[in-house]
Chain A
Amino acid sequence: MNTTLRRLASVVMVMFLALMVSTTWIQFFHADELNSDTRNIRSIYAEYGRARGPIVVGGEAVALSKPVDDEFGYQREYTNGKLYSPLTGFFSLANGTTRIENTENDFLNGQADALWVDRLQNLLTGRDPEGSSVELTIDPKAQQAAWDALGDQRGAAVALDPKTGAILALVSKPSFDPNDLASHSTKEAGEAYTNLLNDDSKPLNSRATNWTYPPGSTFKLVTAAAALESGDYDADTSIDAPDTYQPPGTDRSIGNYGGTSCSSSGQMSLADALRISCNTAFAELGVDLGSDALYEQANAFGWNEPFQVPFNTDASIFPEPSDAFAPAFVAQAAIGQWDVRETPLQVAVTTAAIANGGEVMQPYSVDTVRDPQLEVVRETSPTSVRRAISQETANQLTDMMIGVVEDGSGRSAQISGVTVAGKTGTAQHGEGAPPHVWFTGFAPAEDPQVAVAVVVENGGTVGTSEATGGAVAAPIAKAVMEAVLNG
């Protein structure tokens, strides 16, 4: 019987081998797939049962996890939730996660590959795992200034450090309180989410990054840049500035704001045209430059692709040139009408590029990530996306924009003792509706510290067709720039 016993021993070996293989198959080879199965609520428990790291602005946590006595163990709390929700997003059992809470999840929950040393230490010492903290680039004073200055108006404000691309302020109104969504009661969180979804003012969508507006006259910066880059123009080049302009192939003509005349001679310098934001001059200039030049210049500034800041923003839109892109449309596009759309972030990026000598810097909101021992795990270093315009073009545009604030449509953005460069915008969007008003600018013009873009929907508190970017949006931009400069 010993022979058969030995054979049986071999059979037992094979049986155990099969068990080891099947266990390895599940625990090793298929683990990722199984862990991400939507029916696996384990990952949710793990996610919500962890001491999640805080999101920090200016040394203060704006999102943090507090121990609570429920099945999960930690409750996410947002201090000043409405102010920072366009950045933090939310961390919700019922509705998932968004923005920083989503993109930095691996660091916040401590599971990022870069944190393996910490996890090993936790494993060996039995210490409870803790997430890393994510420190934002936001300047809390600028953020608060933008929030206060926008008041009850709908709109957004974005401020960047033009030299690095760091986001200093990012405000969207109306906003939402992520605390409502972070409730562990699926019912409460679900109801709050449904209410926000059904709210006509769409508070869940950040107007700063995920909302596109007609650019209005702010787009004249792009048109002017394309003109300067073509080499055929400079700031003093005299261009046509008729009272009305009828593009080829259409019987609809373009007029100026309030039907006024730009110049008695019908001619003016490019700088003057920008200073008073002359529509007819820029419409004709756009047609002369052609849709290709405008398209390429817009793309160079970042149109037609989303930014990762690190969460995804909406892409600004400038339609690709085609046969359907008739001169009539080019004329409209050159003054920021027709199908051209932009996010406030894109406007700020464009302005920042001009302030930065033509170099587009990648906008970002996460400055450093620190592990629980406060060691820096990751630090964002500023990166250049591309050069959009030459230094020379940037200098000329800067001078022209200084003119806008000193003696043009943007006078209410003036700051005493500081040279401010800027551009207003007043975007018509539909018959009879008050325009969306814009202001974008940077300061100090000779050594830019802050670039800002502000949009106020439907004329803001003015609320009539009388509203202009200069009157409504420029004072907000001024407040934000002052907050940064006085910081």
Chain B
Amino acid sequence: MSAAVEAPAGRTVEPTERRPARLAELFLLILALAAGITAFAMVGRSVTGELPSDFWPVSLLLTGIGVAAHVVLRLRAPWADQVILPAVVLLNGLGLAMILRLQLADTKGADAWSQMMYTALGAGIAILIIWFLRDHRWIRRLTYTAMLVGLGLVVLPLLPVIGREINGARIWVNIAGFSLQPAEFAKIAFAIFFAGYLVTNRDTLALAGKKVLGLQLPRIRDLGPIIIVWAASLAVLVFERDLGTSLLFFGLFVAMLYLATERFSWVLIGLVLFAAGALVAASVFPHVGARMDVWLHPFDNELYNAVGGSYQIVQGTFALAAGGLFGTGWGEGYPYLVPYAFSDFIYSSLGEELGLTGLLAILLTYLLIVQRGLRTAIAVRDGFGKLLAGGLAFVMALQLFVVVGGITRIIPLTGLTLPFMAQGGSSLLANWIVIALLLRVSDNARRPSALPMRGTVAQGGGAMHDPIVVGAHDGTTPGGGVPVRRSAADAPSRGSTPSHPTEAISGPLDPRRDDPRGTTGGEHL
């Protein structure tokens, strides 16, 4: 879709390429806003028989957010992906509608107005990031800062006084009356840290050790980092009692390690380590084991009636079942019978009123965001950008898997929440930041580049040119360097063929295409 809009620009032979008008985004944005605002009206009509009292302010604010983000993207990131923003606005709007619906039904804790404020704040921060961060490579200098911030955030809930345990999981902090789920922000910090760390050390980590059963194992001495992250994840599992957070960080690391090193053995080692650790934790620590029981036998009457037992998950399952294929319709169901229907279990609430059809549409919308993020990673030229976009997109997919998988019992239930939909400030802010970063990387990825085109480089032939070309490129473009027109032949191919111009010539040297020499150039700015 976006390619189609760009196509006319690509076909011109003018020396300056026209910026995309982002009409596709505008059109999709109108659809997304219409869906959200219609939902606001319908929940009001259905629950109280009239428009909700906050209908106009909430509708206008959501529209304002969408339009403001769209305008800022036009001005500051005109090449960014055009589907991501409307998809996010759609999810955010539907989430708001459900929270509003629960609030109208006097559900304790549901607060649509506060969610609206956090949406505005999150979108505002995202807009600021897009406005002021002109090149994502700038973030790379924060690699080790991000590590410290990430670790600090993870440890935060364990601290006395501010740490809070909710639903058995200690993943909350309470500062001056504001509740915060630090893991949401930590995932961004870790994505930045892993991207920066791995882009520097990927060569070492990719060096092969022994070959066992056809699998190239890494060298023992390179196992250090994965062991550290593994231990940290298990510590989160045991001390914060949340499998989801633990799985999120560890999965992110393993995925990014795999992206960077292209060695499947890392994934295998990671999975085996984590599974073994989780099993040992489940047998050694009773509270972890209890969660496993609830997962495996939720309908057992004893567990159902136990304090901290399976009541919530069973009620959530009932809500989903009540929705059936088409749902009860907005405001017609009983989602509030499930504890935390507006946050942890908003998925089951949506399932009850929108049905399987609605949930599949929502899942597909998330899938769209994630796949657009991964495509951004494929299209972007620098290794750090690839890892960052790939990691952020994957962590969103993983979070969705952990949340929805927990509610539908693929994995044990965790304390994470559905991005953009569940009520919660931390989640909203963090995920809007993720989207801002993805859009920023996407703009850089799709911006016409100074790189020689496929044809010309192929003529040059020698692989020797490659690092030099990349280095030169990195030396000139950071900080939002002058976009240079791409050839007519390449522009349309960006949408349909994810392959990168340089990839065509890199051949056997592909792993080193994002040579550290090339990318470190960015850091010298």
**Segment touching B, from A37-45, A87-95, A176-184:** A37-45
Quote the shortest CB–CB distance from B447 to chain A (angstroms).
18
A23 pairs with B359, CB closer than 8 A: yes
B498 pairs with A6, CB closer than 8 A: yes
Interface residues of B in 306-352 (CB under 8 A from A): 314, 317-326, 329, 333-334, 337, 351
Interface residues of A in 11-52 (CB under 8 A from B): 11-13, 15-16, 18-20, 22-28, 30-35, 37, 39-43, 45-46
Q: Which of chain A's residues have a CB closer than 8 A to the CB of B337?
A: 41-42, 45
B263's closest neighbor in chain A, by CB? A4
B198's closest neighbor in chain A, by CB? A1
A10's closest neighbor in chain B, by CB? B374
Contact check: which of B359, B400, B498 meets A2 at CB < 8 Å? B498
Q: Does B394 contact A (CB under 8 A)?
A: yes
Residues A19 and B363 in contact in the complex (CB < 8 Å), given A27-B356, A31-B321: yes
A26's closest neighbor in chain B, by CB? B320
The tally of residues in B whose CB lies under 8 Å from a CB in A reads 62
Q: Which of chain B's residues have a CB closer than 8 A to the CB of A22?
A: 404-405, 408-410
Q: Which of chain A's residues have a CB closer than 8 A to the CB of B260?
A: 1
Q: Which of chain A's residues have a CB closer than 8 A to the CB of B394?
A: 8, 12
Q: Does A5 contact B (CB under 8 A)?
A: yes
Q: Which of chain A's residues have a CB closer than 8 A to the CB of B262?
A: 1, 3-4
B374 pairs with A9, CB closer than 8 A: yes
Q: In the bound complex, what is the Cα–Cα distance between A130 and B355 (angstroms)?
A: 21
Q: Which of chain A's residues have a CB closer than 8 A to the CB of B322?
A: 31, 35, 40, 42-43, 46
A24 pairs with B356, CB closer than 8 A: yes
A37's closest neighbor in chain B, by CB? B318
Residues A18 and B410 in contact in the complex (CB < 8 Å), given A1-B386, A30-B321, A42-B322: yes
Residues A19 and B324 in contact in the complex (CB < 8 Å), given A2-B500, A4-B259: no
Q: Which of chain B's residues have a CB closer than 8 A to the CB of A25?
A: 408
Q: Does A462 contact B (CB under 8 A)?
A: no
Q: Which of chain B's residues have a CB closer than 8 A to the CB of A30?
A: 321
Contact check: which of A16, A31, A34, A41 meets B363 at CB < 8 Å? A16
A45 pairs with B367, CB closer than 8 A: no
Q: In the bound complex, what is the Cα–Cα distance between A211 and B377 (angstroms)?
A: 78
B378 pairs with A19, CB closer than 8 A: no
A12 pairs with B514, CB closer than 8 A: no
Interface size band for A: 35 or more
Quote the shortest CB–CB distance from A123 to chain B (angstroms).
6
Quote the shortest CB–CB distance from B196 to chain A (angstroms).
15
B317 pairs with A34, CB closer than 8 A: yes
A100-115 to B contact mask, C-beta < 8 Å, 1/0:
0000000000000000
Q: Which of chain B's residues have a CB closer than 8 A to the CB of A13?
A: 367
Q: Does B193 contact A (CB under 8 A)?
A: no
Q: Which of chain A's residues have a CB closer than 8 A to the CB of B387?
A: 1
Residues A8 and B356 in contact in the complex (CB < 8 Å), given A26-B320, A126-B45: no
A45 pairs with B334, CB closer than 8 A: yes
Q: Which of chain B's residues have a CB closer than 8 A to the CB of A33?
A: 321
Q: In the bound complex, what is the Cα–Cα distance between A24 and B321 (angstroms)?
A: 9
B334 pairs with A19, CB closer than 8 A: no
B325 pairs with A1, CB closer than 8 A: no
B359 pairs with A1, CB closer than 8 A: no
Q: Which of chain B's residues have a CB closer than 8 A to the CB of A2?
A: 378, 386, 498-500, 503
Quote the shortest CB–CB distance from B512 to chain A (angstroms).
11
Q: Does B371 contact A (CB under 8 A)?
A: yes
Contact check: which of B371, B393, B408, B500 meets A26 at CB < 8 Å? B408
Q: In the bound complex, what is the Cα–Cα distance between A27 and B350 (angstroms)?
A: 12
Most chain A CB within 10 A, of B258, B351, B511, is at B258
Interface residues of B in 374-406 (CB under 8 A from A): 374-375, 377-378, 383, 386-387, 390, 393-394, 397-398, 400-401, 404-405
Q: Does B42 contact A (CB under 8 A)?
A: yes
Residues A12 and B320 in contact in the complex (CB < 8 Å), given A28-B356, A126-B45: no
Q: Which of chain A's residues have a CB closer than 8 A to the CB of B400?
A: 15-16, 19
Residues A42 and B318 in contact in the complex (CB < 8 Å), given A18-B405, A22-B410, A23-B359: yes
Q: Does B265 contact A (CB under 8 A)?
A: no
Q: Which of chain B's residues have a CB closer than 8 A to the CB of A4?
A: 258-259, 262
Quote the shortest CB–CB distance from B138 to chain A (angstroms).
20
Q: Does B46 contact A (CB under 8 A)?
A: yes
B401's closest neighbor in chain A, by CB? A15
B370 pairs with A12, CB closer than 8 A: yes
Quote the shortest CB–CB distance from A449 to chain B (angstroms).
48
Contact check: which of B319, B363, B401, B500 meets A42 at CB < 8 Å? B319
- Since A11-B255, A24-B360, A42-B334 are in contact, a sample of 12 more A-B pairs with Cβ atoms closer than 8 Å, ordered by chain A residue number, is A1-B259, A1-B377, A5-B390, A8-B259, A8-B394, A12-B367, A15-B397, A26-B321, A27-B325, A39-B304, A39-B314, A42-B319
10 contacts between A and B (CB under 8 A): A1-B377, A1-B390, A1-B513, A2-B500, A8-B259, A19-B404, A26-B320, A30-B321, A37-B318, A42-B318
Using CB atoms and an 8 Å cutoff, list the residues of chain A in contact with chain B: 1-6, 8-9, 11-13, 15-16, 18-20, 22-28, 30-35, 37, 39-43, 45-46, 123, 126
Closest 4 A-B residue pairs measured CB to CB?
A34-B321, A22-B408, A27-B356, A31-B321
